[in-house]
Homo-oligomer: A and B are copies of this chain.
């Protein structure tokens, strides 16, 4: 997937500026793409796509209706179609493959690198995937099935199968001959490292290929290879892989099964990609995008339903906060000015709490806090909460006095916001740790939990204090 060799370096000689000019000329590339797809001229279609940047290829294809999209993919030869599929976001890639006949789909899937094959097949439903696997060559289908059986975020799900693999008794001359005679096959491989395995497949060494420059051609790999190489089990989770690649400068690490047999190679880039995806999907999930991904090219009903599933949980939680207000209706009726300040208390506490959530999420992802360190985080947040609560409480108190002329109203809303800011940052800081510790996804659940508790507590503080001081407030 990320291997450098001449074809790649050469694949565009045109300076990137000229590509940028092309894009500026065609502001709606999907219209031209539709037209070319209808004409079915494979050559012009390919030429047009090659002028677009990867981003604009994805943009253009995603704007086509299904009929035109199928025409484009069928119109291209399978290799070009595979490049196009690889440019799409994962959900769109699977959707595009699903809309093709199994034969066409299999021809395109055949051209994808092994890890992308697995991602696309994994996103199809079982029936669609089986139809494509039936058409693929048996060995390739077995490999794809095997890769697709892993979760996306473990070593096995991120590795590629394309790798140089030799036995310890081969000589340097054997290796060079093999590379020369199968140059076509190896052109897509990462050729910086070769992996040395015994006949039973067990990994016994790693060989940096550039070292072969400095040795005699009769030397055996057994004597050149680095023995006892670091490898990772195929089930290693993303967290540990990020840490491994942080700690070492490798560009790739061999992946083995529980018997130490070489299964594939995991490239640094694949780990980086999953890490970025996890960060992006955390943001989306925290904003109520269920599943961590939504594109506006998805069907309307799917988008609406997924968003609603989150909203309907929130409306239930909101009723809890509303109930607090309902309980204090008489106080509110007596001092209607309180109603003006309730949304301020709710919103400001939410903002303070969300800041604390964000910092906890950040520190968790950097490993700078452990999920068990609840007390430490709570204390750090209370310190900030005392300062910020005092400032915000004072501000809102001044507003209340200006608005209403009654110092007691200022006292009530000021004290309530002060206290509730401390509550909000405490909960916001601690909740992600607790959720993580008990195996829940902090990105999804922290926000609604925070909002519910701070709203209920904030309304209770304002209206409870007001009830205590009612005689002063109505006077």
Residues of A within 8 A of B (CB): 1-6, 8-13, 15-16, 20, 53-56, 58-59, 62, 87, 89, 176, 179-180, 191-193, 206, 208-214, 226, 228-230, 232, 240, 243-244, 246-252, 268-269, 272-273, 275-276, 279-280, 282-284, 286-289, 293-297, 300-301, 303-304, 307-308, 310-312, 314-315, 318-319, 321-322, 325-326, 329, 332-333, 336-337, 339-344, 346-348, 351-352, 354-355, 357-359, 361-363, 365-370, 377, 380, 383-384, 387-388, 391-392, 395-396, 399, 403, 451, 455, 459
Contacts and interface: CB of A to CB of B under 8 A. Distances in A.
A187 to B, nearest CB: 11
Contact of A208 (B4, B303, B377): B4
A9 B247 contact: no
A356 to B, nearest CB: 9
Given A230-B16, A288-B358, A383-B300, A344 B318 contact: yes
Contacts of A208: 4-6, 9
Contacts of A383: 300, 304
Given A247-B54, A279-B276, A347-B346, A388 B295 contact: no
Main secondary structure of the interface of A (DSSP, over half): helix
A337 B332 CA distance: 10
Nearest to A239: B55
A329 B240 CA distance: 57
Nearest to A344: B318
A403 B323 CA distance: 10
A354 B4 contact: no
B403 A16 contact: no
Contacts of A391: 308, 312
Contact of A387 (B275, B300, B366): B300
B348 A314 contact: yes
Contacts of A206: 9
